[in-house]
Amino acid sequence: MIAFWLAALVTVAATALAITRTHPVHALLNLVVSFFGVAIVFFLLGAPFVAALEVIVYAGAIVVLYLFVVMLLDLGRDAGDGEKALLRPHAWLWPALLTAVLLVELLVVGLGDAPPALPRDPAAAAATAPAAVGRTLLGPYLLAVELAGMLLLAGLVAAGHLGRRAARKEAS
């Protein structure tokens, strides 16, 4: 349990750092730490497959894509300072308060009628093992996997089209 609380603390702290930094690269590196913390929580929940996926895809591909864009646009300290001037307390106070109220509401509603935690037996642990995930993906959720592939194709085509247009305009 202490492993979970430690991972949760690191995740929350890293996310708080990530969303309050003005330098984009600092924010993204803190975000990587946050994703690693979530991966540890996944592992502690008995889901090693998605723990690996979180590291490989989220921290290893999505954040790297963000870093590529930051490097492409050469967003350094200049981009951060311009925004710092706009982040006066009157800009973030009310959204932060509203978000805190939402969080309290989420916790009260979500955990109000929570049933007691079921004891983990080996059968339940085997049911969330990677082999079981694979069987579920290729069994009942096969259509969802195909649709996810189509979604990725649509995203690929859209990103390629949008990115190519900008490059061609710059060349002309």
Partner 1 sequence: MSPVPWTHAFGLAAVLFAMGLGTVLVRRSLLFTLIGVEVMLNASGLAFVAAGSHHGEADGQVMFLLVLTVAAAEVAVGLALLLRLHHHRRTLDPDAACELGG
List binders of partner 1 among 140-159 (CB under 8 A): 141, 144, 148, 151-152, 154-156, 158-159
Touching partner 1, residues 101-120 (CB under 8 A): 102-103, 106-107, 110-111, 114, 117-120
- Phi and psi, residue 29, nearest 5°: -70, -40
Q: How far is the CB of 4 from partner 1 (least distance, A)?
A: 5
In the chain, the amino acid numbered 126 is A
Residue 23, SS3?
A: coil
Q: Could you say whether residue 71 binds partner 1 (CB under 8 A)? A: no
Touching partner 1, residues 39-68 (CB under 8 A): 41-42, 44-47, 49-50, 53-54, 57-58, 61-62, 65-66
Q: CB 34: neighbour CB atoms within 10 A?
A: 23
- Choose between 77 and 151: whose C-beta lies nearer to partner 1: 151
DSSP string of 86-153, one letter each residue: T--HHHHHHHHHHHHHHHHHHHHHHHHTPPPPPPP-HHHHHHTSHHHHHHHHHTTTHHHHHHHHHHHH
Touching partner 1, residues 121-140 (CB under 8 A): 123-125, 127-129, 132-133, 135-137
Touching partner 1, residues 75-94 (CB under 8 A): 75, 79, 83, 86-87, 91-92
